[in-house]
Structure 1
Amino acid sequence: MPTSAHVTGILLRVAASAADPPQLLPAREQMAFTLGFHIILVPFGVALTALMLIANYRGLRHGDEQALLLAQRWSKVAAVLLAVGAVTGTVLSFELGILWPGLMGTYGAAFGFPFAIEGIFFFLEAIFVSIYIYGWKRLPPWVHFWTGVPVVVASMGGTAAVVAANSWMNQPGGITMRGGRVVEVRPAEVFFNGAFWFESVHMLLAAYIVAGFSVAGVYAVGMLRGRRDHYHRLGFLIGFIVAGVVLPVQVYVGDVVARQVFNSEPRKFAALELLPTTGTHVPETLGGVLIDGKVRYGLKIPDVASLLAGFRPSTRIRGLDAIAPAVRPTDRSVSVVHLAFDVMVGTASVLLLLVVWSVWLWWRRRQVPTNRWFLGCAALSGFVAVVCLESGWVVTEVGRQPWTVVGLLLTKDAVTTQGNLWPFFAAALGIYLAVGIGALLILRSLTRRWRAGSDGDDEGLDVPYGPNRPLTDAHAGEGRHE
């Protein structure tokens, strides 16, 4: 028989659900879609430019024409994706104001500060990307190379600023409230909030993993099709080595992040572990969902969750029952967070096995792995890395529910209460579909020209998309003197 407390909790949750404004569902769906789309572009803005500079450096240092050709072509891809990211990011900025006036109206003075910093970094990135692209035929080789460094630095700073805003919603601080309004903002405390460092490092490493494996995957496909020349082997190696070096570091950082969540965000940790009740000797549940407050269909490994959280089986983990029923996440929300966490860990483990396999193959033959099974798996690694990234983003965003700003603002209180939002969601879908298809068509056009041996200037057009030849005389001369 249910207890009176249980019945009261159910009634409170039903009442809270009934009070949700009709705009909440379309607003959340639209924000989830647009954020999920935009987050795929972030790694290429952050890390593809770094891969570009690695190729550029090798080309100059060793007189490697194919490395310079890679750098030139990757700079074009980076420019296209930067433009797409600018469009999707602009839509997101409008959505914050239109869909979530409760957030921006009350906490905009604090929440908006990291975005102002991000805007500065974005302008710097856009300026230096333009200089770098135009500079292929107009600047001395090493001067041109150094114009690319601010692009990498600015992209990292911009990412850190956006993560600062997101992490502030998880662990808000740096503000003084009076009468329900923000009366004082301490910018440094807002930016460097309690969750900033581990979230920003985690995201930055994820960007390099996604970009590295995605680039490696493209050249792995070429190698599978018989293109085993220096150009394809080098393109594969630069991407795969960067991702392979960063991935083990990310595994360690992910473990630290999980422990930080255990200490600072017990509600989210309970969802990660699919834990309805507080206890010790908590098992690690693989798969499974929460139905009527009970775990169904999961595979439980005894004591592992407690061991991972506190290094002892007796570690006590707070469950969902420790959260007030009125602000307790729904069973569906908890299940989504838990399954996304499982996917994130599972895909990261698969990628780590791929890296270990590559090391073993290299150790045996001391050459770029050409095993077709390995190349086939490497060709899929970029897609797997994107799935890992998306699932991690779901953990971060859905894991905060039902709060928009934890402890201060519920999501249902942040959403607009005006109008029918479904048409706006449909419009956003149309915009993003058009932008996505346009970007793919442009990239496909570029790759076709590259396969044909053209870099776009064969009609005499003076455009920033690459010199007439893979290596200019100035670059060749200085590269050979090194």
Structure 2
Amino acid sequence: MDDFLAARSQMALSLGFHIIYSCIGMVMPFFMAVAHFRWLTTRDETYRNITKTWSKGVAIFFVTGAVSGTMLSFELGLLWPGFMEHAGPIFGMPFSLEGTAFFIEAIALGFFLYGWDRFHPWFHWFTGVVVGISGLVSGILVVAANAWMNSPAGFDFVNGQYLNVDPIKAMFNEAWFSQALHMSIAAFVATGFAVAGIHALMLLKGRNVGFHRRAFHIAAVFGTVAALVQPLSGDFSAKDVARRQPAKLAAMEALFHTEKPASLVLGGIPDEKTQRVNYAIKIPGMLSFLAHGNFTQEVQGLDRVPVADRPPVLIPHLAFQLMVGLGTLMMGIGVLYLLARWRKKAWLQSRWLLQLFVVATPAGFLAVEAGWTVTEVGRQPWIINGVMRTADAVTPMPGIAYSFYIFSAVYVSLSFMVVFLLSRQIRMVPELYDVEAPTSAHA
């Protein structure tokens, strides 16, 4: 493995692990706050137990997210010094503010974990809400930094020099809102379905039914609502990408040739040598509509992009198809769940509905990983879109492959530790709160 590929692989590995930890760390506090609110208003001890159990999970992911995020910070400087030399002063503000949000989150989490029976109940609940809000803000700020790489702003690039730096304009670049919105909703979808799936599995096994039934419904509502809203965000993001990064859109859709109107490609395997998409289903005019809001407008293909500036096609296209397919699956399950709560109460007692959630447990995080693959691979060969190439930013130091192997071992070990700690927490749910019959659908 050459050093350039090793550096890219290490960043991909680090981001791939960190995004899971950070999504759960951003979203779980809101689940926790809802359970806590239910306990304060109903005095049902099961909700108190759910809150305490989830708070331990939040603490686990807060720690692992902090560790993986710190490693990423070092990697940016060690692996991509050319990038940080020029980009650091421009887009450093969101990272600085993210550090502030992180410290607020840490303080609030400490208050919440150790504030039971020490603070006023509603102030204690409020500290849990602060954990969620600060975590969400932290994630949005990091996404704003990534959005700057896709839509660089806040400086003038003259003769290889970065002049007239405006950190505020850089942070609030044209891409930050669409990316932050799409990522935040995706975090709720992924975490909601993952948590609901775990509790659905426990219900199928008949364990601690009262506890897991209530926990399942809280997570399922969050995941379902987010999954139904996400297509609106996706449509907004698609139109934004079509305007700012037409080469990325062309790679996502495997659009080798400019079309007017442009067909939407479903599935298929792109062949970059022949510039064809094999085994695909095409919907005439639909890509024009998704990109520009009408069925007749032209959509730029890769034939209008210089060969040296074209992104890979196979990986972004397959990742995009995977993301959309999994999102559609979760939408369908979400519709069935809402219908069950609204009109078909008997479905809430059925095993098949729980089994659907179990099957969908990893779907949200697979979709998140696929979405980030589209974002990063679709921007290539640029690390700063249209300004700096990825190959020009990598460190000249040799031996990066060894660093990649070491970091891979660290992340795999960290993941095993997380799985062990979480499984132990699930097994420790006390039988004392198993107050309902296994077939109950009570939320």
2:393 corresponds to 1:418: no
Aligned to 2:436: none
Aligned to 2:221: 241
Aligned to 1:341: 320
2:248 corresponds to 1:268: yes
Aligned length: 431
User: What code does the residue aligned with 1:114 have?
Assistant: P
The alignment-based identity, stated in percent, is 37
**Aligned match of 2:22 in 42, 48, 67?**
42
Q: Decide whether the 8 Å contact of 2:92 with 2:167 is kept in 1.
A: no
Tell me by how many angstroms 1:97 deviates: 0.5
Distance change (3 Å), C-alpha of 1:178 and 1:301? closer
2:163 corresponds to 1:193: no
Give the whole-Å Cα distance in 2 for the aligned partners of 1:30 and 1:142: 44
Give the whole-Å Cα distance in 1 for the aligned partners of 2:17 and 2:238: 25
1:232-291 superposed Cα distances (whole Å, 9 cap, x missing partner): 211010000111112221111111111111112111111111011112122211222233
User: How do 1:141-290 and structure 2 match up within 5 A?
Assistant: 141-227=121-207, 229-287=209-267, 288-290=269-271
Q: Decide whether the 8 Å contact of 1:220 with 1:378 is kept in 2.
A: yes
TM-score, normalised via structure 2 length: 0.93
Q: Decide whether the 8 Å contact of 1:104 with 1:111 is kept in 2.
A: no
Aligned to 1:324: 306
Between 109-118 and 93-102, the greater mean CA deviation after superposition: 109-118
Aligned to 1:405: 384
User: What code does the residue aligned with 1:292 have?
Assistant: K
2:355 corresponds to 1:376: yes
Give the whole-Å Cα distance in 1 for the aligned partners of 2:372 and 2:432: 39
Tell me by how many angstroms 1:185 deviates: 2.1
Aligned to 1:299: 281
Q: Considering only aligned residues, what root-mean-square deviation do their CA atoms show, in Å?
A: 1.7
1:410-468 superposed Cα distances (whole Å, 9 cap, x missing partner): 011111121121100000011111111112112222222225669xxxxxxxxxxxxxx
Between 402-411 and 371-380, the greater mean CA deviation after superposition: 371-380
Give the whole-Å Cα distance in 2 for the aligned partners of 1:351 and 1:449: 29
User: How do 1:385-400 and structure 2 match up within 5 A?
Assistant: 385-400=364-379
User: How do 1:353-372 and structure 2 match up within 5 A?
Assistant: 353-366=332-345, 369-372=348-351
Tell me by how many angstroms 1:93 deviates: 0.6
Q: Decide whether the 8 Å contact of 2:18 with 2:68 is kept in 1.
A: yes
Aligned to 2:66: 86
Larger-gyration structure (1/2): 1
1:69-94 superposed Cα distances (whole Å, 9 cap, x missing partner): 11111000000111001111111111
Give the whole-Å Cα distance in 2 for the aligned partners of 1:83 and 1:402: 34
Distance change (3 Å), C-alpha of 1:148 and 1:340? same
Give the whole-Å Cα distance in 2 for the aligned partners of 1:339 and 1:41: 24
Give the whole-Å Cα distance in 2 for the aligned partners of 1:266 and 1:36: 25
TM-score, normalised via structure 1 length: 0.86
1:375-402 superposed Cα distances (whole Å, 9 cap, x missing partner): 1111122211111111111111111111
Tell me by how many angstroms 1:160 deviates: 1.0
Tell me by how many angstroms 1:155 deviates: 0.8
Give the whole-Å Cα distance in 2 for the aligned partners of 1:307 and 1:95: 40
User: What code does the residue aligned with 1:406 have?
Assistant: N
Tell me by how many angstroms 1:371 deviates: 1.5
Distance change (3 Å), C-alpha of 1:350 and 1:25? same
User: What code does the residue aligned with 1:312 have?
Assistant: N
Q: Decide whether the 8 Å contact of 2:91 with 2:167 is kept in 1.
A: no
Give the whole-Å Cα distance in 1 for the aligned partners of 2:409 and 2:164: 40
Q: Decide whether the 8 Å contact of 1:286 with 1:300 is kept in 2.
A: yes
Distance change (3 Å), C-alpha of 1:69 and 1:180? same
Give the whole-Å Cα distance in 2 for the aligned partners of 1:309 and 1:183: 33
Q: Decide whether the 8 Å contact of 1:276 with 1:293 is kept in 2.
A: no
User: What code does the residue aligned with 2:220 have?
Assistant: F
Give the whole-Å Cα distance in 1 for the aligned partners of 2:333 and 2:357: 7
Unaligned runs of 5+ in 2: 434-443
2:101 corresponds to 1:101: no
Unaligned runs of 5+ in 1: 1-20, 455-482
Give the whole-Å Cα distance in 2 for the aligned partners of 1:444 and 1:113: 38
